[in-house]
């Protein structure tokens, strides 16, 4: 049987045009630029205007990724998101239809900040199994629609955005190859990151406490460093990469201190750590593909580079992946057009 691998052949991104700086937030919250920047590395974030949805951002990013790959379509559309356009139905089929792909299978995947790495695993597995030849994997979020604007503990952290990759079947050794993936979860600690209302356990969204995102930041911090280190180390060892052979370390963009701490524990030099946090903040399921697209556009990723991805988020969930960077040109979509 032919040894088939999933290969990244295109990448695209879309950030909404409106930007909120730390100084802007300090006018409405008991916070300062210095606190936010020194604790997180975040200086500003992009946010959608009312009426612009996750699906709008995801459609624009998906179109950009298809353009980057030089393709008109694909066999499967996957959307990693925690902020879908509606509870029912999933957002991915609408994105597919807006991309002219009505008819192809499309579904949402909910793994919060680990969503992109979970999606990469699903896409690579389906291509490897021969189920589909090409997958459009989108990470898109609008956390500005779920954070409590009055909670300085979370409102300063998150931003909106979307990015996407195209994966196609290829032969082992092709630049862009996804070499290895590992995932994990621990639902015993689901309460550390949650939106309490709106689900079957508590369907009503009639007060702020039930409709808003909440997080125990300090507890999540400790668990994120431990799980990302363990998971990323395991993946690097599985593919036989020594720390000094890793060209780019792209961790979930939640906090620059977390990225530095994980890299230090792995033995990866600080200049190999990709951090877009200053510009976009934490964009949850969109953060890793956004960081990849940004790093590639800055010339920080070259064809053949060894890239180690790792993520941690609500669920709790985590996951890591090793891939070789392809010679793709990222396409940046200007801004979403509302659907
Ligand atoms: O994306 C999913 C994964 N998420 C993460 O990985 C996030 C992980 N957590 C973190 O990144 C950090 O825990 C935070 C950035 C959320 C918080 O940083 P911290 O250093 O852990 O601060 P803290 O929560 O322990 O708060 C320290 C102090 C508190 O005041 P007291 O109790 O010491 O008087 C907070 O009330 O800072 C206060 N504080 C703030 N002060 C100014 C919390 N938020 C703010 C704020 N501005 N925005």
Distance 112 CA to ligand 1 centre (A): 19
Pocket test for ligand 1, best of 31, 116, 147, 153 (most atoms within 8 A of CB): 153
For the chain, the C-alpha Rg in angstroms (whole number) is 18
| pLDDT confidence of residue 4 | 87
How far is 38 from 272, CA to CA, in rounded Å? 20
**CATH number of the domain where residue 77 is located:** 3.40.47.10
Tell me if residue 294 falls in helix, strand or coil.
Answer: helix
Angle at 236 between CA 312 and CA 329, to 5 degrees: 75
Provide residues with CB under 6 Å of ligand 1: 31, 35-36, 39-40, 113, 152-153, 156-157, 217-218, 220-221, 224, 254-255, 258, 282, 284, 312-313
Structural domains of the chain, count: 1
Q: What is the mean pLDDT of residues 40-62?
A: 98
Q: Are 71 and 169 in contact, with CB atoms under 8 Å apart?
A: no
Residue 153 Cα: closest atom of ligand 1: 44
Whether pLDDT at 205 is above 90: no
**Residue 335 pLDDT grade (very low, low, confident, very high; cuts 50, 70, 90):** confident
Strands 178-185 and 160-170: unpaired
How far is 308 from 252, CA to CA, in rounded Å? 11
| pLDDT confidence of residue 11 | 98
Distance 217 CA to ligand 1 centre (A): 6
How far is 217 from 223, CA to CA, in rounded Å? 10
Whether pLDDT at 1 is above 60: no
DSSP 248-292: EEEE-SS-HHHHHHHHHHHT--GGGB---HHHH-B-GGGHHHHHH
138-194: per-residue pLDDT in tens? Answer: 999 999 999 999 999 999 999 999 999 999 999 999 999 999 999 999 999 999 999
Residues with catalytic roles:
113, 252, 282
Whether pLDDT at 33 is above 70: yes
Distance 157 CA to ligand 1 centre (A): 9
- State the residue range of the domain holding 339: 1-339
**Residue 3 pLDDT grade (very low, low, confident, very high; cuts 50, 70, 90):** confident
The CA–CA distances, whole Å, from 2 to 171, 177, 199 equal 9, 15, 44
Residue 31 Cα: closest atom of ligand 1: 47
How far is 31 from 20, CA to CA, in rounded Å? 14
DSSP 13-42: EE--SEEEEHHHHHTTSS--HHHHHHHH--
């Amino acid at each position: 049987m032919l040894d088939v691998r999933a290969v990244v052949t295109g990448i695209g991104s879309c950030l909404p045009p409106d930007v909120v700086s730390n100084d802007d937030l300090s006018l409405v919250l008991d916070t300062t630029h210095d606190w936010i920047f020194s604790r997180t590395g975040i200086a500003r974030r992009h946010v959608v205007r009312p009426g612009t949805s996750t699906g709008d951002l995801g459609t624009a990013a998906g179109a950009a990724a298809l353009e980057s790959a030089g393709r008109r379509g694909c066999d499967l559309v996957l959307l990693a998101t925690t902020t879908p356009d509606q509870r029912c139905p999933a957002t991915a089929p609408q994105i597919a239809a807006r991309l002219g792909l009505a008819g192809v299978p499309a579904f949402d995947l909910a793994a919060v900040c680990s969503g992109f790495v979970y999606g990469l695993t699903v896409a690579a597995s389906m291509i490897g199994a021969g189920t589909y030849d090409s997958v459009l994997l989108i990470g898109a979020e609008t956390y500005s629609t779920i954070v409590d604007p009055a909670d300085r503990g979370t409102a300063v952290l998150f931003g909106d955005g979307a990015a996407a990759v195209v994966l196609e079947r290829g032969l082992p050794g092709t630049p862009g190859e996804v070499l290895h993936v590992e995932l994990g979860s621990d639902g015993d600690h689901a309460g550390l990151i949650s939106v309490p209302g709106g689900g079957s356990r508590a369907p009503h969204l009639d007060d702020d406490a039930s409709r808003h995102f909440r997080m125990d930041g300090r507890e999540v911090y400790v668990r994120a460093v431990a799980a990302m280190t363990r998971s990323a180390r395991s993946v690097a060892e599985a593919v036989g990469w020594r720390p000094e052979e890793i060209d780019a370390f792209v961790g979930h963009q939640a906090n620059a201190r977390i990225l530095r701490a994980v890299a230090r524990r792995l033995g990866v030099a600080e200049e190999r750590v990709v951090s877009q946090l200053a510009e976009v903040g934490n964009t949850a399921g969109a953060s890793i593909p956004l960081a990849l697209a940004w790093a590639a556009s800055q010339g920080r990723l070259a064809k053949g580079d060894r890239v180690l991805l790792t993520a941690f988020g609500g669920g709790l969930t985590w996951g890591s992946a090793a891939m070789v960077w392809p010679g793709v040109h990222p396409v940046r979509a200007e801004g979403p057009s509302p659907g």
